[in-house]
Amino acid sequence: MGGIVGAAIGYLANRALRFSEARDYLQEATLFVFYFLLAIFSIGVGSSLGLDDFIVTFSAGTAFAWDGWFVSKTTKMKLPSILDLMLNSGMFVYFGAIIPWHEYHNNLNAGRMIAAVVLILLFRRIPAILALKRIIPGIKSWNEALFAGHFGPMGVGALFLAIEARARLETDTSNPLPHPPKHSENKEAIDTVWPVICFVVLGSIMVHGCSALVMSIAGHYSRPAKERAPLLGTEDERLYGMANEEGAFSDVDDEE
């Protein structure tokens, strides 16, 4: 139900914003502020109806930006990039400081955790994106579908849901205890969920963070020597098999 309500909110918000923008009712700054207003509104609706606010806001954002129109309107704005960099940098510094390294032994040894990360990265998004390729407007080729399926880094959302899961196991509410209980029928699950999710997020950061470098080097050496850029990885041509030369949503503006 949270997904349905969120998708309806996102779709209606998209249509309302497009209606207003087409009639010059909006300024450029208003487009960016709309992100925050939509998030706050979605949380309010979800909480009022007793739904999962995380699912409501995620579904609203997905439906809101599904056709790529909003992205095409805000892609050249500087402020979103600045805020994104500041918030992401602060969050990942904090995350690096709280990874429970001392818990990775016995059943949570490095070999098992790495195997889990590999399986999750392979099957979490790639099969779904390949299956939905035909109905996603911004994906024009199978190579693009594979590219989009791979680049699904895990971060704040995964950590939030790990805390939510621990809270449900501890108190059956959304409020976790300051420290895991020493005696509980769910003690094994409580002690496992946080270190596992932290390691998966860490693996995602490493794999997706290094992917651009690997693809850049591979793209450089896959070209004939005469077509390579003077500096390694500075080619500006599209990747092999990518159908969109001007960006994933260039056709949105052409249709309008």
Q: What is the pLDDT along the chain (256 residues), one digit of tens a residue?
A: 999 999 999 999 999 988 988 888 877 667 777 878 898 999 999 989 988 888 999 999 999 988 888 877 777 767 666 777 777 888 889 899 989 999 998 889 989 999 999 999 999 999 999 999 988 888 888 888 988 899 888 888 899 889 889 999 988 888 888 887 888 888 889 889 999 999 999 999 999 988 888 888 877 777 777 777 777 766 666 666 666 544 444 444 444 4
Say yes or no: 61 and 85 in one domain.
no
Is 152 a member of any domain?
yes
State the burial class of residue 214 (Cβ atoms within 10 Å of its Cβ: 0-12, 13-18, 19+): exposed
Q: Which of 76, 111, 134 is the last residue of a domain?
A: 76
Cβ atoms of 141 and 242 within 8 Å: the answer is yes
pTM of the model: 0.69
Is 195 a member of any domain?
yes
Residue type, 112: R
Cα distances (angstroms) measured from residue 222 to each of 65, 141, 176, 184: 34, 20, 51, 56
Q: Which of 50, 76, 102 is the last residue of a domain?
A: 76
Q: Which of 76, 105, 125 is the last residue of a domain?
A: 76
Cβ atoms of 158 and 198 within 8 Å: the answer is no
User: Which residues contact residue 34 at a Cβ distance below 8 angstroms, ignoring those fewer than 6 apart?
Assistant: 13, 17
Q: What is the DSSP letter of 135?
A: G
* pLDDT of the residue at 243: 60
Backbone φ, ψ for residue 96 (5° rounding): -60, -30
